[in-house]
Amino acid sequence: MSELCWLSATELAGLVREKTVSPVEVVEAHLERIGAVNPALNAVVTLAADEAVQAARWAEAAVLSGLTTGPLHGVPVLVKDNVFTKGIRTTFGSRLYENFVPEEDAVLVERLKKAGAIVLGKTNMPEFGLVCVTDNLVFGPTFNPWDITRTPGGSSGGAAAAVAAGLCPLATGNDAGGSIRIPASLCGVFGLKPSFGRVPSYPRLPGMETLSHEGPITRTVADAALMLEVMAGPDERDRMSLPAPAAGYLQTLGESIKDLRVAYSANLGYASVEPEVSAAVRSAAFAFRELGCRVEETGVVLPDLVSDLQKIVVTEIVTALEKRLEEWREKIYPAFRPMLDRVNSVSNRDLARAQFRREELWDKVRRVFERYDLLLTPTSAVTAFVSGTGGPLAPPMINGKKAHSMSWMAFTYPFNFTGQPAASVPCGFDSVGMPVGLQIIGRRFDELTVLKASAAFEACYPWHHFRPPL
């Protein structure tokens, strides 16, 4: 039964359809795994065990009755703690919302349930997703399953840690600056930030509206493609949502990527990278030549919009919570308290300049994709670092140089500004056994090519058989 926890969602769905295993067996196996492993990780923070078992019984009855079932029938999923789940506590990692229970599901949760997925509970995150280390005052820190003294990254750190540790095959994440891709990289799993608007986001708290992307975290590319097929498509409740894609994601994964034009950038013109990360990513990037791609190293120099990201995110979050600001000041994660005052120094002109620089960034990126189909970079400049309760929010040094708080995520946030699809695929380990991620960025709206390239790399350099030493 424990091996059920390491099967992919596509495998589990097939076994359920064939009546080889029951949804009840699948759910109970995962709940048992959570009970055994989660105390060391703190990845799952609200468990909906009774609801999940009841949903599994209904799913089993449907199969036995011969009813038509969805593509994820009987498959467990965990939902990030800032995604609305009807009847299940949703805290956003904040003491402001520690007792909040939504009265409706987010669109993506509606769609997962309609496809037959069974929600096991909620995964941990930093308060309001403001940093890429998973810790908060409601639940405390989440730890990396490859080394429980280290961070899983964030802000979807609980989701990535849970998937890596076999607590579920599917988890939802969202990404406004790297929050899907960074924890996927640090935990050795697959994470996809789809095109902006591909997966509707409603209902949601205000803030980061033009930067945040909803997406899947899984152990295999096929599972992410299947999950995206279920979640993607327009919904009038989210005015930013995109039209439905022209083709299914899953059915195209086996297509050849021969003759794709692939650019590799070691630093985007401004980033510092740890040598072991750089070596692993470079090797993985040029391995695409073995797949028939034309790979070239590019000297592209992008403008670094890190200060603009900070100004936009802090201003929007603080403004969204302005009616409860004094209450929040008393309950806020201590490291975030200075930002409540810092926001007063951000002017209207600062925010306008950020939009102008966003256009400048797009002009540079657009020119890259006039020549190439994909851009490859490291996902994170470092592997997972030691972090726990009140621990560091970022590594102080990168490659021997002093780093600022967001230096280590320098490769991800540009593509939140541009809205392009980008994935992190596992591409190796460092000398102490921590995973390294390769970022694969595609043209706007072209998740298909990103997924095909990810699947082709996975087929040659599979990673899902690696299991953390828990």
**Active-site hit among 8, 22, 94, 155:** 155
**Active-site hit among 80, 113, 311, 452:** 80
Amino acid of residue 279: A
Q: How far is the first Cα of the chain from the last one, in angstroms, to the nearest whole number?
A: 17
How many angstroms separate the CA atoms of 422 and 370, rounded? 17
How many angstroms separate the CA atoms of 438 and 181, rounded? 9
155 is catalytic: yes
Residues 6+ apart with CB under 8 A from 116: 13, 59, 69, 70, 71, 72, 73, 74, 75
Residue 256 CB: number of other CB atoms within 10 A?
10
List the one residue out of 439, 467, 165 whose CA is nearest residue 284: 439
Residue 320 CB: number of other CB atoms within 10 A?
15
Which of 168-182 are b and which e, b meaning 16 or more Cβ less than 10 Å from the residue's Cβ? Answer: bbbbbbbbbbbbbbb
Residues 6+ apart with CB under 8 A from 175: 156, 181, 191, 193, 212, 213, 215, 412, 416
How many angstroms separate the CA atoms of 423 and 440, rounded? 5
241 is catalytic: no
**Active-site hit among 8, 94, 156, 179:** 179
80 is catalytic: yes
* Catalytic (active-site) positions: 80, 155, 179
